[in-house]
Amino acid sequence: MKQKTTPLNTLHNLASSDEYIANEEIGDNHEWSNIETPMHKNAFKLNPKEKKEKIAGYFTKIMNTLGLDLTDDSLKGTPSRVAKMYVDEIFSGLLPENKPKIALFENKYSYNEMLVEKNITLYSNCEHHFVPIIGRAHIGYISSGKVIGLSKLNRIAQYFAKRPQVQERLTIQIAHELQGILETEDVAVVITAEHLCVSSRGIKDVNSSTISSFFGGKFESEQKRQEFNNYICL
């Protein structure tokens, strides 16, 4: 996929309707600009409590603009609930302090075949429309002398999922993180997901799903790819 770089301040400087339409097209075409999650230089200036206070205020304005009555018992707590959900839950992967702590172990069993952890549940959100991406990740690696606890594979995948994402970037971020931790290029990641930006709006196709993959090191060979794919299809 050809990558296009969009300035971080684009949304703050929409000078004309043409610029707005251009950014709408970028979103619907699922363009992405960088392997790293786009963050501005002051991203961590506010602590989580301060972020929640600001988000609650902004969301109050959104609800008021939509015409909702925030004095209603069902709605009055919504801005703070949304803010808490954003910071503490669905976008918690934006905070470096939430990155999983990883311990490696010696491969004392001399297990030299691939290890595959499949059907890892993923909940993320499309960075173009802020609606859910729901899917599964399948991860494989071949040890270079170190092994990782199985649950850490899940935690790493979920950490990178808990931020505004595109599926291609998510796949690469998980793979690169594991390559660095395990000190090996021999890592494979496949993600299958449903995008609610496709199924609940726009084209409204409820039957389609998206598959993305990363194959590094030994997994670049057709034999290893096929072996990995056979395992995740069991």
Which residues are designated catalytic? 126-129, 167, 195, 197
Question: Quick count: other Cβ atoms within 10 Å of Cβ 100?
Answer: 16
Cβ pair 106, 146 in contact under 8 A: yes
Amino acid letter at 129? H
Whole-number Å distance between alpha carbons of 162 and 115: 25
CA count, 13 A, side-chain hemisphere, 111: 14
Cβ pair 190, 211 in contact under 8 A: yes
Cβ pair 32, 169 in contact under 8 A: yes
Q: Residues 6 or more apart from 34 whose CB is under 8 A from it?
A: 3, 5, 169
DSSP summary character for residue 65: H
In terms of Cβ atoms closer than 10 Å to its own Cβ (0-12, 13-18, 19+), residue 79 is buried
